[in-house]
A and B are shown apart, each in its own frame.
Chain A
Amino acid sequence: MDRPYNILIAGVGGQGNLLAGSVLAEAAALAGYRPVVGEIYGASRRGGRVMTHVRIWKEDLGPLIPAGHTDFLIGLEPVETIWAADVLCSERSVVVMNKAVVPTLSTLTGLEKYPSVENIEKALKEICGSLFVMDATDTLNEFNNPKALNMFFLGSLVALGKSPLSKEQITEGIKKNLRNPASSIAIFERGIEISSKLA
């Protein structure tokens, strides 16, 4: 690696965003790097946005990714993906986006229109190097584990990210962070499998 590898995870409260950051930090430590994770959230459990910056390098870095330096963006929600990409992504960025929308209070009540996911994709393609759009809903339903969206997309990182972290290291990271990791690991592996087909 000749420069830091930066992973950005964008979503809303309750999607397992911060946990995914902890998993990647453990995995990177196992791989012999000095990871740093920045967690950005306000009142996330009350509908707010959450962003996790994961930076993997051989020495300590600040916890925030510089503008345009994102290598891999995990967008757990479309509007959150475009918000994150807007400043922090560039041609160097690979983006995976979960298609499932989490409405905002004003789109829920019809005061504001949720933008079309098609337009979000268009804008992301302009900003980023490559874009993969997925819907993890079926997989999560199949495993009856609606909270494991984060694990599915960690699989995408392995399949599409050219990251310095191996499948085994991330699996170890999951085991270190979860008491009952079996279903999460299965979803992570399914994430790798499904994402690989898009590569």
Chain B
Amino acid sequence: MTNPESREIVLSGNEALARGALEAGIGFCASYPGTPSTEIATTLMKESSEHDIYVEWSVNEKVALEACAGASWLGIPALCSMKSLGLNVASDFLLNVNLSGTGSGGLVIIVCDDPQGHSSSNEQDSRFYAKEAEIPLLEPSTCQNAKDVVPYAFRLSQEHQIPVMIRSTTRLSHSRALVKPGKIPERDWKVSQILPDNLYNIPYPYHKHGELDEKTGNASADFEMSGFNNITKGTNADMLVIASGVSYLYALEAVRLLDITNVDVANLVTTYPLPLSHILQWIENKKKILFVEEVAPFVEEQVLALVAELQHDPRDFYGKRNGAMPWIGELNTDIVKKAIKNTSEGRIYNTDREIPKIIDTGESLLITRPLTFCAGCTHRNIYWAIRKLRNRLKGKLAVAGDIGCYSLGIFYDNAMETMQAMGSGIGTASGMGQLKRFGFDTKVIAVAGDSTFFHSCIPGLINARNNNADLTFVIMDNATSAMTGFQEHPGSKKQSFDKHRVSIEGIVESIGPDHFLKGDATDIPSTLDILWDAVNREGLKVVLLEGVCKLEEQQRGVDYANLKRIVHFSENCKGEKCKICAGQFSCTALGWNNETGQPYIIEHLCTRCGTCVDVCPNDALREEE
């Protein structure tokens, strides 16, 4: 495809980043799904055959980055996209390949941060990885900008043979705006048959560090010339806002809404290393400078370090370090507006929003909408069994959790009790499984989903085996990466034509737990029996429970109309005295009628899985004859 399109099209931030990769002429993309980054690789997958590029879901972000480096070393431009937390996983490799170099192909990492943590368990600022790795960093502020920085980042990476990082945020990745597509070039790279020299950092890593320093210094000079860093000038401005990422648009609008003119607004796209002469030019003759960025004071600290070298600097700097901007949560125009107003008046105080002024109607209108499992989800069945198990054990059951749909177990009567990184359930449990010697006699369970199992659980499980930890590892296998939109993983039953399935069962068997039990998560009584059996045995127990993702089924067009309807027999129902079905089991297809004091089936949501029939102790829920 070479025909340049001239008309602007509506693209999401993620689609624009993918488009930029095509225009950069990439040949390779590896990624692991994670909100808000997933659609970058998904978009490239859709385009892969037309543009003859290779795109894969890797087993985790570290492997994805390594795979991309492999391609880049052999001359192929490679893109690696991931969410914020993914970069933690990939960082070990990043902090080595930055020194070793990326060869001639070009390696660009796109990391999508999630200020506020809309779909993440933290709101980390991944830009510090670029600083730590001393690699160039770009932060686009609009969808157009997102597309434009990608080919530039590849040129930079190819020229200096180091990884280049692009940082997006949820608000950019998940926004849509007009983008003018450019030309997708004819392939101008050729695969090399031999690896470049010196792809290692020993015996003198500090020599490599020196080389990296020089390359990054050169990138700083490139940034000065890049044309990405712009300033919108006010009139007789004595104040400057330095904004990066999507915050730039907030700052522009805030100034307009405040109707003030003595402010320049700078859009800093190349945030590491700083384009020094730009910064010095921008701050000249300014009295007050406000930093607007998400989440941490990344640019702010760098600029403050820079001006520390200037003698007797007369300017006042406002930002996160002195409370003029919030350090916590996502920004918006209102927060920035308030900060600009305060700064222009020389005031600093927190910019939290005011308490809303909803009228008192005598009842609470702003009720929350808690997240829960879908109707018919087998994760609910497993957690129901775990709740029963905990009752039988008189509460002496610790459940270490992991990342996925099943993380919602923390909202399900605390059926899952911990949640940190991918793979941390089995890891923390393997520690708890050693505590018998100190008098700990609570049973320990770790849970993980199938995609998470492949991503990060295998070392933890081997650790538990090797050190003889006493625990039960429950794998909730629904054969898809459900949380992020049903991507294939190595264990998915259905694999694309060019993939080879890797079975969880085979891996577990080779690790050799003391007991390996298998069960069917669609059936609660047998699941409970298996879990009871497992926790009462000694040693390392692995329970593989085969489940179903009802959303994925519905996505494929599976229809439940030919299954038997679930019906409610009110004469058997003990009503409010019992209320186990709606009040405790809480399937979203079971409603509670406060007037009759009885449950009802919400037909259009019910998947007719029949588990509530087992949950009802009074035979009031039945399959229709």
Contact = CB atoms under 8 A, between A and B. Distances in A.
Interface stretch (B315-323, B340-348, B585-593): B585-593
Nearest to A68: B334
Interface residues of A, number: 55
A109 interface: yes
Contacts of A22: 10, 176
A186 interface: no
Interface in B160-208: 171-172, 174-178
Interface in A87-119: 87, 103-116, 119
Interface string B339-360: 0000000000000010010110
Contacts of A29: 8, 10, 178
A18 to B, nearest CB: 9
Interface string B362-385: 111111111111100000000000
B543 to A, nearest CB: 24
B371 A46 contact: yes
A83 B588 contact: no
A10 to B, nearest CB: 11
A61 B586 contact: no
Contact of A47 (B118, B252, B588): B588
A181 interface: no
B573 to A, nearest CB: 14
B421 interface: no
Given A104-B369, A115-B367, A35 B592 contact: no
A36 B358 contact: no
B48 interface: no
Given A29-B8, A43-B483, A64-B332, A108 B365 contact: no
B551 interface: yes
A86 B361 CA distance: 14
Interface in B589-614: 590-592, 594, 604
Interface stretch (A122-130, A131-139, A149-157): A122-130
Nearest to B364: A115
Nearest to B555: A45
B359 A87 contact: no
Given A37-B177, A38-B175, A108 B582 contact: yes
Contacts of A62: 171, 246, 249-250, 252-253, 332-333
B584 to A, nearest CB: 8
B177 A35 contact: yes
A47 B253 contact: no
Contacts of A26: 10
B583 A111 contact: yes
Given A39-B175, A46-B374, A47-B588, A64 B582 contact: no
Nearest to B590: A108
Contact of B334 (A66, A82, A86): A66
A42 B358 contact: no
A45 B374 contact: yes
A164 interface: no
Interface in B123-180: 142, 144, 171-172, 174-178
Interface of B: 8, 10, 12, 118-119, 142, 144, 171-172, 174-178, 246, 249-250, 252-253, 257, 332-334, 337, 353, 356, 358-359, 361-374, 405, 408, 483, 551, 579, 582-583, 586, 588, 590-592, 594, 604
